[in-house]
Amino acid sequence: MTKEAQRAELHKTIWRIANDLRGSVDGWDFKGYVLGMLFYRFISEHLTDYLNGMERAAGVAAFDYAELGDGDAEFGREVTVSDKGYYILPSELFVNVRRRARGDADLNETLARVFRNIEGSAVGTGSEDDLKGLFDELDVSNKLGPTVARRNEQLVKLLDAIGDLKLGTFADNTIDAFGDAYEYLMTMYASSAGKSGGEFFTPQEVSELLARITVVGKTSVNGVYDPACGSGSLLLQFAKVLGKDNVRRGFFGQEINLTTYNLARINMFLHDINYEDFDIALGDTLLDPAHGDIVPFEAIVSNPPYSTKWRGADDPTLINDPRFSPAGILAPKSMADLAFTMHILSWLAVDGTAAIVDASKQFTRIGNKIKLTEGHQQAVLDAFTAREDVPHFATLVEAEALADNVYNLSVSSYVEAEDREYPRNGVSGSIARKGRRSHDDRDNHHQQQCGGRGVGQTGDCDPKPTTTAG
């Protein structure tokens, strides 16, 4: 089955689920139920496969953890929590709770207890912070209906719908089925709530391109980092592009929104990233950055918020922050995205690459949506790696030319547009800026940021040739 056929079938199933369960809560709240139950199913199946594999490798060919009694299962708790970060008793696995659901008059209480027990299994261990709060948005006590019977009826539908989804594994699908289900849900519910899906995820094709640009010429990196990670979709592409074992120290990110922070951690588990291999922090990256003890990173990707404000000069101590002090001036209060860029450059390894991309002319329309196809991805990647002039698309700009142009990084200053109807896009050195607002407004401050010098591929402010795609 082709990628688009797989995706269409998955979306059709999710749409049916949404229609079946419509009415109890609004869509924006309900996505928490769907994603939370999806997470519950995944960790149940993942734990079962892990334990079955261990026992069968030891010679117990007929072993099935889901059929084991809870008392017999307790012997493996400590070792399993150490390895996987959580533990679920057989009676509390998704498959068994679903099987009993229609006859369980206290189903809502059963699920509430199961979720508490899963989080509780990590208390006092290294995975406690990674599990804490992950089921908070799956409220089984009130929102689903006025009576217990009505709530349980909805929960049965939800369990059955999620259980029937043919998700396979991350490696078995042309698409990332778990990730695509997540992205589709977020897009559908964001639009119905008047929100932007881009606040929560970066489309898979764009994420993959960012990852591929960042690892050109490399087979592994010391770690990947996203200072405004949203749901973690950018970070997760490195598991696909390089293989998760080739991200040696793991996946690191920070997110300011509590709901999205929880989704990022769920997303890591959904993509089989072990709790020891990711560290997603909650907080304001610009004012209270986590992971400063782990820098520098060889790969940094990000889709930071644009046209937003930050504290800037209102906090005089920030000028002494080593991320901002080399420039001698802070990013304007109205330009948090520039502050994020300064932060990224400060934390980038000397042989590292950071990428922020918007290939706004490289897409194909599929129905009423636009897609960045493999061919479009390759065109941008080829322009980045070849560093040769391509009319109306890319040019290699020497540092002297940047200086002559007062360090203006506006793509249109160097690449002649073939058709002015199209929005501009760019890949600039190791920093490919995703321009959601005027390039000119941002570029006026670039010289201040780098003390009159250009941004180079290594992530410092030394003048080096820059490849620009238009």
Copy the structure tokens of residue 306. Answer: 């644009």
Mean pLDDT (whole number) for 78-89: 95
* Nearest Cα to Cα of residue 225 among 347, 346, 333, 308: 347
Cα gap 138→116, rounded to integer Å: 12
Which whole number is the average pLDDT over 76-105?
Answer: 96
CA-derived radius of gyration, the chain: 24
Whether the pLDDT of residue 148 is over 50: the answer is yes
Indicate the SS3 state at residue 194: coil
Q: Give the per-residue pLDDT at 200.
A: 61
Select from 200, 202, 152 the least CA-distant residue to 176: 202
Q: What distance in Å separates the CA atoms of residue 359 and residue 226, rounded to the nearest whole number?
A: 20
Which of 258, 252, 215 has the alpha carbon at shortest distance from 235? 252
Predicted local confidence at residue 367, as pLDDT: 57
Q: What confidence score (pLDDT) does residue 424 get?
A: 41
DSSP string, 2-46: -HHHHHHHHHHHHHHHHHHTTTSS-HHHHHHHHHHHHHHHHHHHH
| 329 contacts 254 by C-beta, under 8 angstroms | no
Mind listing the pLDDT tens digit for each residue in 29-49?
Answer: 777 788 888 889 989 999 999
Strand segments (E) across 192-312: 224-226, 251-255, 278-282, 297-301
* Residue that wins the pLDDT comparison between 1 and 40: 40
Q: Is the pLDDT of residue 66 over 90?
A: yes
Angle between helix 148-164 and 27-57 (nearest 10): 60
Tokens, residue 327: 């420039």
- Alpha carbon of 417 to those of 365, 408, 438: distances in Å? 21, 17, 16
Q: What is the mean pLDDT of residues 149-164?
A: 90
> Tokens 């056929």 identify what position?
5
The answer, yes or no, to whether residue 446 has pLDDT greater than 50, is no
CA neighbor of 269 nearest in space, from 134, 93, 173: 134
CA distance 118 to 88: 6
pLDDT digit string (tens) for 450-467? 333 233 333 333 333 344
Residue 326 has a pLDDT of: 92
- The answer on pLDDT for 243 being more than 90 is yes
Is residue 359 predicted with pLDDT exceeding 90?
no
Q: Is the pLDDT of residue 193 over 60?
A: no
* Cα–Cα distance, 134 to 39 (Å, whole number): 9
Q: Assign residue 371 a region: left if phi > 0, alpha if psi is -120 to 50, beta otherwise?
A: beta
Q: What are phi and psi of 220, to 5 degrees?
A: -160, 160
pLDDT of residue 181: 73
* pTM, 2 dp: 0.79
- Are the beta carbons of 169 and 46 closer than 8 angstroms? no
Maximum mean pLDDT: which of 171-175, 280-284, 373-377, 400-404: 280-284
- pLDDT tens for residues 279-314? 999 999 999 999 999 999 999 999 888 778 999 999
User: Rounded mean pLDDT of 250-265?
Assistant: 92
Q: What pLDDT sits at residue 427?
A: 42
pLDDT, averaged across the chain? 81
**Confidence (pLDDT) at 24:** 61
Domains of the chain: 3-185 (1.20.1260.30), 196-470 (3.40.50.150)
Among 48-62, 87-101, 268-282, 443-457, the range with the most confident prediction by mean pLDDT is: 87-101
Q: What number is the average pLDDT over the span 109-125?
A: 96
Of residues 162 and 252, more confidence is placed in 252
- pLDDT classification of 195: cutoffs 50, 70, 90: low
pLDDT single digits (tens) 416-432: 887 655 444 444 434 43
Closest CA to 447 of 410, 403, 385, 417: 403
CA distance 348 to 430: 10
Q: Smallest Cα–Cα separation from 82: which of 127, 136, 27, 142?
A: 127
Nearest-angstrom CA–CA distance, 86 and 132: 11
